[in-house]
Structure 1
Amino acid sequence: MNMVTKRDTARPTTPDGETLPAFRPGSNVLVRGPSLAGKRDIALELLAALAPDERPVVVSAADDAANVRRRLVATEGADLSDDCYVVDAVRSQVSGQAVTRTDGGDRRTWYASSPSDLTGIGISTTDALSAVHAEGKRPRVVVDSPSTLLQYNDIERVYRFLHVLNSRVRALDGVTIQIIHADAHTDREVATLAHLFDSVVDVATETSEETDAVDVRTGSTSRSLALSELLSALAGGHASSTDVPPA
């Protein structure tokens, strides 16, 4: 069997050799499912499956930076809390005090005033992406979540914001992983936002890595995988020094 080892030609594959194009550099991935289905945990595990030349970034409209880092510590497979850049859009709501974009002097954290402040979130995210690029790395970005943004903004504004964000990350050969609570929105809203993504990971119920499956949809193709298979495939596809079977 011919083997490839170059980072830019290796694609994530399932254990039986099927290519997973969803997570190539420049891709946008939506983790979709009902509330309380474990989507955030899955998104953070996908974040943890990053390559050595990727920097994790979390854009959070649901938790402040401290809670984001606590979740990262608890994420199985990697402790990303020290390496992760965070855009925090809720600290001012939690503390009741105004914040500036670089409040506190933490070079790993940027702020926006609230989830309704899409301009501020966009500026802070651009700052974080610029910092990643200056390091010579590629961003792997989790957005938590478009559902929260839709509580504060109409669908047109959120659509435009996510379109610009996805384009900026794609230009840096990064990957975006975004979470949507499908039962919190109309079918039309979910379908509208889904058009922004190359691939969708559908989560039907509470998922455990050992037993349950997720559906990975790319274009007209759909593949059901155990979560452990998906994470293993991603780890294999990102290896720079490990032989990966060609697609």
Structure 2
Amino acid sequence: MSDYTLGIKELDAVIGGIKKGSNIMLIGPPMSGKEVILYYIMYYGAAKNENAVITVTTRESATNILEWFKEHKLALPLARVGIVDCVTKTLGGAAAENENIKIASSPVDLTGIGVKISQFFEEYYMKKNIKKTQLHINSLSTILMYSNIQTVFRFLHVFTGRIKATGALGIYTIESGMHDEQSIATLKQLFDGMIEIKSEDDKNFIRVVGLSPKPTPWFEYEIEGANVKIVGRK
């Protein structure tokens, strides 16, 4: 069995699995279902592949994310799921930590976010002896709104390095069209490959670049509830 898979079988079949230690940028326009795709990968990783999954959320509170999985009747194995919530405190909500949720003060607090990620890594890798971990950051675009590109690059450099060193998998979402090309090019240096999403004529397409000898075809997909359904290819 390959080291990591996305759970979208048409893409997995073409790329033949993802090597340990890979860092991937998930880039696409707003309203293209990126969040559902990331949740889908998260669920597949934790429930089907038995990886630990750490999600840093700068867009939704941890409570809302867990509620989303419940609403869609997806039983997340909570012993393998950790969420670093950068939203709740910013909105002035009551923020209580538990074994699944750690609270960072805001998306600006990269030091605090880093500490919380490290705590989850240590818990899964050292204490629970789960050797396969996925780190998802959703989204780099929010972090870039508050910090300059050099600061974000340094922050990511630490964690992409840790992903490589521990044989984990990192997936980092970013909005296309929201940042200048120089910023995207700077960040791309840290990644082994990309999951690219584009919208054309009210249709959404996805492909993977850099994780196999040549890019996958563009696959048309639809979001049905919590499912990512491939309906055709270009």
Cα displacement string for residues 11-33 of structure 1 (whole angstroms, at most 9, x for unaligned residues)? x9858964445x22211111111
Q: 2:105 aligned to 95, 113, 124, which one?
A: 113
Corresponding residue number in structure 2 for 1:69: 66
1:85 maps to amino acid: G
Taking structure 1 as reference, are residues 75 and 31 closer, same or farther at Cα in structure 2, changes over 3 Å only? farther
- 1:1-247 counterparts in 2 under 5 A? 18-20=14-16, 23-50=18-45, 52-73=49-70, 78-80=74-76, 82=78, 83-95=80-92, 104-133=96-125, 134-137=127-130, 138-205=132-199, 213-218=205-210, 221-226=214-219
Aligned residues: 217
Q: Secondary structure of the residue that 2:174 maps to in structure 1?
A: strand
Higher relative contact order, structure no. (Cα contacts within 8 Å, ≥ 6 residues apart): 1
Match for 2:149: what amino acid?
I
Q: What's the CA shift string for 1:77-135, capped at 9, x where partnerless?
A: x43273421011122112267x6xxxx35111112111101000000110011111121
Whether the 8 Å CA contact 1:45–1:75 is kept in 2: the answer is no
Give, in whole Å, the separation in 2 of the partners of 1:153 and 1:9.
31
Give the whole-Å Cα distance in 2 for the aligned partners of 1:196 and 1:73.
34
**What TM-score do you get using the length of structure 2 for normalisation?**
0.79
CA separation of 1:110/1:193 partners in 2, compared to 1, >3 Å: closer, same or farther?
same
Map of 2:225 onto structure 1: none
Instruction: Say if 1:89 and 1:46 are closer, same or farther in 2 by CA, change over 3 A.
Output: same
Whether contact under 8 Å (2:58, 2:86) holds in the other structure is: yes
- In structure 1, list runs of 5 or more residues that go unmatched: 1-5, 233-247
Pick closer, same or farther for the CA change 1:225–1:72 going to 2, 3 Å: farther
Q: Assess if the C-alpha contact under 8 Å between 1:44 and 1:75 holds in 2.
A: no
Letter in 2 for 1:28: N
Offset of residue 221 of structure 1: 2.4
2:232 aligned partner: none
Query: Per-residue deviation at 1:54?
Result: 0.7
Measured in 1, the distance between the counterparts of 2:215 and 2:101 equals 37
Residue segments in structure 2 that go unaligned for 5+ positions in a row: 222-227, 230-234
Normalized per residue, which structure has more strand?
2
What is the identity percentage for the equivalent residue pairs of Structure 1 and Structure 2? 25
* RMSD over equivalenced CA pairs, Å: 3.3
